[in-house]
Amino acid sequence: MKKILVTGSGGPAGVNTLRSLGISPEKMVLYSSDINVYHLEFSRPYAKEVFLVPRCTQPEFVPKINEIVEKHKIELIIPQPDIEVAILSEKREKFNASVFLPKKETVKICQDKFRSAKIWKKQGFPTVKAIEIKKDNVENDLEQAFSMLGDNLWIRAKRGAGGTGSTPADNIKTATSWINYWYSREKDWEFIAQEFLPGRNIAFQSVFNNGECVTSQARERLEYIYPYLAPSGITGTPVVAKTIHDDEVNKISTNAILSIDPNATGIFSVDLKEDKSGNIVPTEINAGRFFTTNFFYAFAGKEHNSPRANMAHILVKLAYKESIPEGNNYNVLPADLYWIRHIDCSQHLVQEKNLQYNP
């Protein structure tokens, strides 16, 4: 029986990966780790054992993970937070279990939003225009950004998930104050200014193997958890999302991934937005980890008899060099399936035709 460790599983993405594996057709022995003793309780119902570990940036992290791996004969490690993806990727040879991550350089590029955008621009397909904001030249760089990118900017950290350090800004004072606020809190973030993209907010989750898209599904984010708590209106995970079938989204997402790594292998979760002209533009790729709501697809796949929709299970099958179930490479689920959930509320998978609209 396969033995798998999901790291960072005190957070929603890790928990949902465990849940996805838990409803897969084969039985596995699942373990979880996290740096927060309280948050480990979230994963306990889905794992045989849970482990408190040091932060991945600490020297004790690798020995602790290997201790767990060796004691429980774990064969595969699936990290979820970006920081743990980065560490497991860079130090993969030091872990005594498989990680099945994208190449080291691929992970590095994808975790730098400015660097990946430069590659897309060089490849000649639509991408969000951006300017780096240097810490010692904030106001001048922002003046250049407004001059080149327009009257509305999106200010964000170069690295991080969930809208880290992001806010819209329509003047230099707001943008400068926002960035300096984070510096005053001793954050070592690097910032970029991007053109503001007002259209649809789209997510494309996929698993690749040797440059081939094995399984994927796109969705549109419609409503965020507590949007009023963030200046950007984006708080990292949606309350409401729906599956979409869009050939252009599939094509652009695939090209965005393969332009960075022609032999892409592993998880690739692409964020895209529409610009004011309706063009679909990739904004970032989360390489090596699933989106927070990845259980959406696994649950819907079980409901609609689409085994490739359980992407965590497909990842495991590939990592073990096993054949995967028959199915589509794209659009593995029906369109217009709504995933509706909230903190301390239940989750609901609803077909559009069954939504109750007000008369």
Report which of 204, 235, 213, 207 is spatially closest to residue 315, judged by C-alpha positions: 207
Q: What is the pLDDT of residues 125-167, one digit of tens each?
A: 777 788 889 988 888 999 998 988 888 888 988 877 666 788 8
- Say which CATH number the domain at 93 has: 3.40.50.20
Q: What is the pLDDT of residues 334-351, one digit of tens each?
A: 999 999 999 889 999 999
- Say which CATH number the domain at 234 has: 3.30.470.20
Residue pointed to by tokens 């209106």: 233
Q: Is 147 helix (H, G, I), strand (E, B) or coil?
A: helix
Is the pLDDT at 231 greater than 70, yes or no?
no
Is the pLDDT at 124 greater than 90, yes or no?
no
Q: What is the pLDDT of residues 324-337, one digit of tens each?
A: 999 999 999 999 99
Region 277-289: mean pLDDT is 93
Is the pLDDT at 235 greater than 70, yes or no?
no
Q: What is the DSSP letter of 319?
A: H
Is the pLDDT at 269 greater than 90, yes or no?
yes
Residues 254 and 343 in one domain: yes
Residues 256 and 151 in one domain: no
Structurally, the chain folds into a number of domains equal to 3
pLDDT at residue 359 in the model: 45
Q: What is the DSSP letter of 329?
A: S
Residues 186 and 205 in one domain: no
Q: Which domain holds residue 93?
A: 3-99
Q: Is 321 helix (H, G, I), strand (E, B) or coil?
A: coil
Q: What is the pLDDT of residues 100-114, one digit of tens each?
A: 999 999 999 999 888
Region 60-68: mean pLDDT is 98
pTM equals: 0.91
**Mean pLDDT score of the chain, rounded to an integer?**
92
| Residue 113 in domain | no
Q: How far is CA 31 from the centre of its chain?
A: 21
